[in-house]
Protein backbone atom coordinates (compact mmCIF):
# COMPACT_ATOMS: atom_id res chain seq x y z
CA UNK A 1 0.00 0.00 0.00
CA UNK A 2 1.21 3.51 -0.79
CA UNK A 3 1.88 5.75 2.17
CA UNK A 4 0.12 9.10 2.82
CA UNK A 5 -2.61 8.78 0.15
CA UNK A 6 -5.48 7.47 2.29
CA UNK A 7 -8.02 9.82 3.96
CA UNK A 8 -8.22 10.08 7.74
CA UNK A 9 -10.55 7.42 9.20
CA UNK A 10 -12.24 8.49 12.45
CA UNK A 11 -15.40 8.12 14.55
CA UNK A 12 -18.53 10.18 13.72
CA UNK A 13 -22.14 10.20 14.89
CA UNK A 14 -24.96 9.48 12.42
CA UNK A 15 -28.35 11.02 13.29
CA UNK A 16 -31.41 9.36 11.75
CA UNK A 17 -34.57 11.25 10.76
CA UNK A 18 -36.36 10.20 13.96
CA UNK A 19 -33.57 11.62 16.13
CA UNK A 20 -31.91 8.33 17.07
CA UNK A 21 -28.14 8.24 16.76
CA UNK A 22 -25.34 5.74 16.38
CA UNK A 23 -21.58 5.97 16.16
CA UNK A 24 -19.57 4.63 13.24
CA UNK A 25 -16.18 5.10 11.64
CA UNK A 26 -15.95 7.14 8.44
CA UNK A 27 -13.88 9.52 6.36
CA UNK A 28 -16.72 12.12 6.54
CA UNK A 29 -15.79 15.47 8.13
CA UNK A 30 -13.64 15.56 11.25
CA UNK A 31 -13.55 13.35 14.32
CA UNK A 32 -16.70 13.90 16.41
CA UNK A 33 -18.79 15.44 13.57
CA UNK A 34 -22.49 14.55 13.19
CA UNK A 35 -23.96 13.39 9.88
CA UNK A 36 -27.70 14.25 9.82
CA UNK A 37 -29.70 12.17 7.35
CA UNK A 38 -32.68 13.48 5.34
CA UNK A 39 -33.68 10.00 4.17
CA UNK A 40 -32.70 6.80 5.95
CA UNK A 41 -33.77 3.12 6.01
CA UNK A 42 -36.53 3.96 8.52
CA UNK A 43 -38.22 6.38 6.08
CA UNK A 44 -37.13 5.35 2.57
CA UNK A 45 -39.83 3.57 0.51
CA UNK A 46 -37.36 0.92 -0.65
CA UNK A 47 -37.24 -0.43 2.92
CA UNK A 48 -40.63 0.59 4.34
CA UNK A 49 -42.89 -0.32 1.41
CA UNK A 50 -44.74 2.99 1.81
CA UNK A 51 -44.52 5.27 -1.18
CA UNK A 52 -44.71 9.00 -0.52
CA UNK A 53 -43.32 12.03 -2.28
CA UNK A 54 -40.34 13.83 -0.77
CA UNK A 55 -40.36 17.35 -2.19
CA UNK A 56 -36.99 18.65 -1.01
CA UNK A 57 -36.46 21.11 -3.87
CA UNK A 58 -40.04 22.11 -4.74
CA UNK A 59 -40.03 19.97 -7.89
CA UNK A 60 -43.33 18.21 -7.14
CA UNK A 61 -45.08 21.54 -6.45
CA UNK A 62 -43.61 22.96 -9.67
CA UNK A 63 -44.85 19.94 -11.64
CA UNK A 64 -48.36 20.14 -10.12
CA UNK A 65 -48.59 23.88 -10.86
CA UNK A 66 -47.41 23.41 -14.44
CA UNK A 67 -49.79 20.58 -15.29
CA UNK A 68 -52.78 21.52 -13.09
CA UNK A 69 -55.04 22.13 -16.11
CA UNK A 70 -54.50 18.68 -17.64
CA UNK A 71 -57.32 16.85 -15.91
CA UNK A 72 -58.52 13.52 -17.28
CA UNK A 73 -62.11 13.80 -18.49
The CATH number that applies at residue 9 is 4.10.80
| Per-residue model confidence (pLDDT) at position 67 | 86
| Per-residue model confidence (pLDDT) at position 61 | 81
Examine residue 67 and state whether it is found in any structural domain, yes or no. no
Examine residue 66 and state whether it is found in any structural domain, yes or no. no
Would you state the torsion angle of the CA atoms of residues 40, 7, 31, 47, taken in this order, to the nearest 10 degrees? 10
Each of the 73 residues of the chain gets a pLDDT tens digit; together they read 788 888 889 999 999 988 999 999 999 999 999 999 888 887 777 777 776 666 667 787 888 888 887 776 5
| Per-residue model confidence (pLDDT) at position 47 | 72
Examine residue 62 and state whether it is found in any structural domain, yes or no. no
Amino acid sequence: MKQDIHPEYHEITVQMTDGSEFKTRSTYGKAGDTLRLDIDPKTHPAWTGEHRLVDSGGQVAKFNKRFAGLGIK
